[in-house]
């Protein structure tokens, strides 16, 4: 017979099988009351009072689960109820009445608190653009589907992986079937796509004697991008000169590009000289064309962290921040930007003023992970190489440059390639990470297509 089955009807007491039953129950970690039941089954007349006493203790004892949520005020009320009950033995009915009122407060506080949080649900509204280290506001919509009102709700949220400190919000009261919006602030520490831990909704309503906690898991992830910075102005001036040089060396022009005639300038293509008009006026004149071709920028981001040692993660964050800042500023200049990287799968995104998809790039870079086994040569083989001709190519190198790889395949007869190693002195000279609105003074007053990208989150106090 199993140790947890009743031993009713088993004969014998002195030296009987109940000794083995008790040993098995004790070894299995059973309670003392269960052992009393077994002993009473073998000798009902001798051990029946002990069994009844064990049952009475079970019924009268306060469950541990109920006392866990008792607050300091609740313990004080419980102690006062016991003292009042003891005084009632000598002083009469008034202390007994006070003790009954205090115990009723405890009972109502424990039961009504569970009713308050039972019908509570919430929805989370996340900001579209979040950068590591910035303080952000997260809005919560709390709904109460219960027939009882919910009051004094304290909401606690936290990102998984210790990515940010806890955020707290408070709702004073939500009527039955109603809803309320609250807001709290949080400062994410690291780049990445972070999930949320279970949301804790607690209340001490109505008397503050018990704290009831409910665990909710509303869906949602927070994409935290690497903090942008400021790129040296000389980088963009060099880029502009390169685009002008590419336009002048263009082999031919279409008829619909023609704008007018102007005087010849040193560096103009001799093929553009309008000889008939130049001979008539006695000075060289060249055809002037509208710029119809798109200025193209290709950013090739190296995510290989081999041979970087313990600084690999920090250097990767700097490279990601530089790539995001450069892409944003080039889009503001009116360029078509192509970004290619291993994340660790191939990631290739095309940005432009018309597409307005900078947030797509930031979200992809937020979830980017290092690819130690994929270098820049493999990136060249995997990506669409149509983005390289007639483009200003920026290679942001990490471990691939320390491996001595041949990157000459990135060059074409009509493009310009610039290689920058993250963490090098040259990199530190052209990029400063951490500026809130880097590059704003360079392109102030230009395109307005990405105005929404620069709107800073409104900071409000916690509700």
| pLDDT tens string 428-449 | 999 988 644 333 333 333 333 3
Tokens 């979830």 belong to residue: 367
Any domain includes 418: yes
Q: What tens digit of pLDDT does each residue of 298-310 get?
A: 999 999 988 888 8
Domain closes at, from 241, 272, 292 = 292
Q: Are residues 271 and 394 in the same domain?
A: no
How far, in Å, CA of 204 to CA of 210, rounded? 5
What is the pTM for the complete model shown? 0.66
Give the mean model confidence (pLDDT) for residues 168-182.
Answer: 90
* CATH number of the domain within which 334 lies: 3.40.50
Do residue 91 and residue 180 come from a single domain?
A: yes
Question: Is 1 domain-assigned?
Answer: no
Tallying the residues shown for the chain, one arrives at 463
Please tell me whether residues 368 and 441 are part of one structural domain.
yes
What is the tens place of the pLDDT at every residue in 215-258? 998 888 888 888 888 999 999 999 999 988 887 776 555 444 66
Average pLDDT over residues 331-343: 91
Q: How does pLDDT run across 2-55, given as a tens digit for each residue?
A: 444 444 434 444 445 555 665 665 555 555 555 555 555 554 445 556 556 555
Q: Which residues contact 274 (CB under 8 A, 6 or more apart)?
A: 261, 285, 286, 287
Q: Is the peptide bond before 344 cis (omega within 30 degrees of 0)?
A: yes
d(CA 386, CA 193): 31
Q: Are residue 442 and residue 399 in the same domain, yes or no?
A: yes
Q: Which residues contact 329 (CB under 8 A, 6 or more apart)?
A: 231, 236, 438, 439, 442, 443
41 and 98 assigned to the same domain: no
Residue 416 lies in a domain: yes
User: Which of 6, 27, 60 corresponds to the end of one domain?
Assistant: 60
Mark whether 35 and 50 lie in a shared domain.
yes
Same domain, 218 and 110: yes
pLDDT of residue 66: 57
Q: Are residues 339 and 408 in the same domain?
A: yes
CB neighbours of 388 closer than 8 A, spacing ≥ 6? 298, 410, 412, 415
Residue 20's pLDDT is: 61
Full residue range of the structural domain in which residue 256 is found: 252-292
The burial class, CB within 10 Å (0-12 / 13-18 / 19+), for 438 is buried
Q: What are the tens digits of pLDDT across the range 258-270?
A: 667 888 887 777 7
Mean pLDDT of the chain: 78
pLDDT-derived band at 290 (thresholds 50, 70, 90) equals low
pLDDT at residue 341, as a whole number:
93
- Domains identified in the chain, total number: 4
Domain match, 218 and 70 both: yes
Smallest Cα–Cα separation from 136: which of 160, 180, 167, 161? 167
Query: Which of the four pLDDT bands, split at 50, 70 and 90, describes residue 418?
Result: very high
């Amino acid at each position: 017979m199993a140790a947890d089955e009743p031993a009713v009807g088993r004969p014998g007491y002195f030296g009987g099988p109940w000794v083995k039953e008790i040993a098995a129950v004790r070894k299995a970690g059973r309670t003392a009351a269960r052992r009393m039941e077994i002993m009473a089954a073998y000798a009902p007349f001798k051990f029946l009072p002990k069994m009844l006493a064990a049952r009475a203790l079970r019924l009268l004892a306060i469950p541990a689960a109920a006392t866990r949520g008792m607050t300091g005020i609740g313990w004080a009320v419980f102690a006062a109820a016991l003292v009042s009950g003891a005084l009632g033995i000598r002083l009469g009915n008034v202390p007994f009445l006070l003790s009954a009122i205090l115990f009723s407060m405890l009972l109502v506080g424990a039961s009504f608190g569970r009713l308050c949080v039972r019908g509570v649900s919430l929805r989370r509204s996340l900001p579209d653009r979040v950068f590591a280290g910035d303080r952000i506001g997260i809005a919560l919509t709390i709904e109460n589907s219960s027939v009882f009102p919910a009051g004094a709700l304290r909401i606690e949220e936290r990102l998984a992986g210790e990515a940010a400190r806890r955020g707290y919000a408070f709702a004073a009261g939500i009527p039955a079937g109603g809803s309320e919006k609250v807001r709290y602030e949080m400062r994410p520490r690291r780049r990445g796509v972070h999930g949320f831990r279970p949301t804790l909704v607690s209340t001490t309503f109505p008397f503050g004697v018990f704290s009831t906690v409910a665990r909710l898991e509303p869906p949602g992830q927070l994409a935290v991008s690497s903090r942008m910075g400021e790129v040296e102005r000389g980088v963009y001036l060099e880029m502009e000169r390169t685009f002008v040089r590419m336009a002048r060396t263009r082999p031919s022009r279409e008829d619909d590009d023609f704008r007018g005639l102007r005087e010849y300038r040193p560096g103009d293509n001799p093929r553009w000289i309008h000889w008939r008009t130049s001979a008539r006026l006695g000075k060289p004149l060249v055809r002037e064309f509208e710029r119809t071709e798109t200025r193209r920028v290709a950013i090739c981001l190296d995510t290989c962290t081999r041979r970087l040692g313990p600084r690999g993660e920090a250097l990767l964050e700097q490279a990601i921040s530089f790539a995001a800042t450069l892409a944003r500023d080039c889009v503001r200049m009116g360029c078509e930007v192509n970004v290619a990287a291993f994340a660790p799968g191939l990631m290739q995104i095309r940005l432009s003023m018309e597409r307005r998809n900078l947030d797509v790039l930031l979200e992809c870079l937020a979830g980017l992970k290092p690819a130690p086994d994929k270098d820049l040569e493999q990136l060249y083989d995997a990506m669409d190489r149509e983005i390289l001709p007639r483009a200003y190519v920026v290679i942001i190198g990490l471990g691939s440059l320390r491996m001595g790889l041949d990157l000459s395949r990135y060059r074409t007869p009509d493009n310009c390639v610039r290689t920058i190693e993250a963490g090098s002195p040259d990199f530190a000279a052209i990029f400063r990470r951490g500026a809130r609105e880097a590059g704003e003074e360079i392109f102030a007053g230009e395109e307005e297509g990405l105005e929404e990208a620069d709107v800073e989150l409104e900071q409000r106090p916690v509700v």
